Structure 1
Amino acid sequence: MPQIPNEHPTLWIKSAKSRTLQGKTIVLAVTGSIAAVRTVELAREFIRRGADVHAVMSEAAGWIINPMALHYATGNEVITSITGKVEHVEFFGNLGRADLLLVAPATANTLGKIAAGIDDTPVTTFATTAIGAGKPVMIVPAMHEDMYNHPAVLENIEKIKGWGISFIGPRIEEGIAKIAGNDDIVLQVERTIGKKTLCGKKILITSGSTAEPIDPIRILTNRASGKTGVELALEAYRRGADVTIVHRNKLGVSGINEIHTETAAQMTDAVLDELAKDYDVLISSAAIADYTIDANEQKIKSGEGLELSFKPTRKLIKEARKSYPQVKIIGFKAEAGVDTEELLRRAKQTLETSGLDMIVANEVSKSGMGTNSNNITIIYSDIRENLNVEGSKSLISNVLMDEITGLLAAKDEE
């Protein structure tokens, strides 16, 4: 990216990953937990997504990590005391310029002070001001598990949650209430202060491959990795949607509902059952098996002759369209070894025969399945021209969610 004169070199990475936090100012409040060492990389992850980051530290945090490290990480002077600049008001007064106060890590001591309205450190002074002004605050606790389980600590957490403040984590491992992973923290922050174009919408996504059993050990499956479905789920969640993903894999993101299925029949049944819960959109990105077999109950011995008799599976999108005509359905059409004209012809045919609102076509013999990037064409059910998108699956999911947002907005206006 072009360098700006006198810009701190750290900021040369700004927006390197995305622009999900473009124009947002985050104050990262660091307290005296050993997990403070994680905040250097956390700050930089926010910057890579376009945010401006400022750090405020308690004295105890300075025993763990030198303020110079966070100066380097953020590109801004670190606030270690409240001065005549009244920094807490500058950022979180009624006219303050910050969008979020993120207390990470938050110790048991700091949680108790926030709950009691005590502000005897720069961090708690920032918290008192932000909460009093009704500004967004998120807290990422980190401490020993025994401390976390103290009745007063748990009461303080519930009290603070009652003020509408979100907590991220902790992860209970090795007798420690560990700070949440950076990816999880970043995602929750994106959902809180990012673009909320899908707030109030329910989105159901199928992802990855299915697996048809031959016997208790062997399966028939395909090369689909589920990367596209995961990126779609993450992007929908960032934008405020209520998201459910149906797949064989494990995403493990707090806030995204997962339904685990193996076979095509299991996935179809799970989706149809879930759609009864008033979803707005079904994104059928899974590579669902077209054929299945009657599996042997016992393992087939190695070296024996083997004949398999296939039978077709049910068509999820056709059943979903028939049972839930009000739901917007986006399908995927993957082909291999065909030219562009034939790919688009087949995708258009599926779009029409299945009653889809949109279909994503891609030729996967060279890229797409199992890779981190793809080249797709979006085909619409109306008169709009096809849209070609090439790039990372994260970029593609962003474009698709823009299109789905427009689709739902048009529906709401009807």
Structure 2
Amino acid sequence: MKVVIAAGVLALGVLALQPRPAADGESAQEPSTGAADAQLDRMIGQMIMVGFPGDDEQDPGVIAVHDQLAKGVVGGVVLYPENIGQKGKLKALTAHLRSATSNPVPFIAVDQEGGLVQRLARRDGYTDIPSAASIAANPSYSAMDSVGRLYGTMAAELADAGFNLNFGPVVDLNLNPENPVIGARGRSFGSDPKRVTDYARAFIAAHRRANIVTAAKHFPGHGSSQTDSHESFSDISKTWRDRELEPYRVLAQEGLLDMVMVGHLYHPRFSDGSQLPASLSGRAVRSLRDPHWLAFKGVVMSDDLEMGAVEDYPIEERVIKAINAGTDLIMFSNVMSENPELGPELHAVIADAVRNGLISRTRIEQAYGKIMLLKRKLVQKDLGGKS
């Protein structure tokens, strides 16, 4: 099914969204023109990451997204199994995508956790990495230097393949072993926050040595859920525990968090309204930024905004709510829609929302600043700074 965003939907008020009041220090939004418009467009582009159809530079979907990267319409792409083939072909594809623009460098992202979530697979010539649960249960990996070597192999292969962003580590605590998306799939290092933090630290350090950005997930914690947010609404209000925040607190304090991915998870503590997931709620991002607790200053990104947990919200509403909540980087897998023009359509939604006062220009500038700071560190191979 193609996802099509009507160009004039915001102006027509289909979403029944009211202009967002200006925050302290912000001015009311006026339509921008000329050079100001161009700068706004550049900033918006850096906030958008999309998947795309195709695995060869001659494929229409690849041609389209390459052009969007070159024009700054989007700032990054994420690859899925349908984009990934044998080593030589994958390297050619990522090199082609990187050639679209060099300033700033595009994010070329993938989910490479190990175990069942391993896009670069053995069949294509890559090392088979055990799941987080298997690593934590194996006495051979009780020493963090051995874990570091294992994840060093993973990170080196990602870098060689042309990636600079990995959606990991999973820092969810395994509080519900029957959880269909975390516990049952072996994606958690365990239920002890210190143990999870130790393994996550080794994962991040190995990626930094390979100059790859990481995104800890899924804030505020998916490990206690009873449902899979890929498929449906995920309410954690009765199962979530405070200790699920501990890995974020420690890793942020140590300057090891480049990005944090906010999940489509409902808990009143992290929600702006009845059953509104954390990914669309300012309360979630404010708790993540709270200087007296988690104090995260880096890039906040959304989980895939095409997932089942948020599908009841029109796409325009998902985008506007996520950005107003404080999300810096919105991500659409585009796996279901396979729409080669999704990036430009998302860009138009955000630009229209700014011009119509639904998103403040200041919010765009804040997001752009955080993304550009991280990209500069990536180019300078200096990912060790405080985040």
TM-score, length of structure 2 as denominator length:
0.28
Bigger radius of gyration: 1
TM-score, length of structure 1 as denominator length:
0.27
Larger % of strand: which?
Answer: 1
Larger % of helix: which?
Answer: 2
